Structure 1
Amino acid sequence: MPTCPKCQQTERQNKAGRTESGAQRYKCMRCGHKYTPEPKPRGYPEEMRKQALQMYVDGMNLRRIARHLGVHHRTVSLWIQAYAARISEVPLPEEVKEVEMDELFTFIGHKKTGSTSSPL
Structure 2
Amino acid sequence: MMQCPHCAHPDYILFGKNRGAQRYRCQACRRTFQTLRRGKDPALKEQAQKLHLEGLGLRAIGRILGVHHKTVSRWLVQAAG
1:37 pairs with 2:22: yes
**After TM superposition, which residue ranges in structure 1, 4 or more long, deviate above 3 angstroms?**
none
In structure 2, the residue corresponding to 1:63 is in which secondary structure? helix
Instruction: Give the alignment partner of residue 73 of structure 1, picking from 65, 69, 74.
Output: 69
1:5 pairs with 2:14: yes
Percent of aligned pairs with the same residue? 33
* Count of residue pairs brought into register by the alignment: 58
In structure 2, the residue corresponding to 1:43 is in which secondary structure? coil
TM-score by length of 2: 0.60
- Distance, in Å, in 1 between the alignment partners of 2:64 and 2:54 is 14
Which residue in the other structure is 1:98 paired with? none
Which residue in the other structure is 1:62 paired with? 58
RMSD: 2.3
In structure 2, the residue corresponding to 1:5 is in which secondary structure? strand
Bigger relative contact order (CA 8 A; separation at least 6): 2
Q: Identify the structure with the greater strand proportion.
A: 2
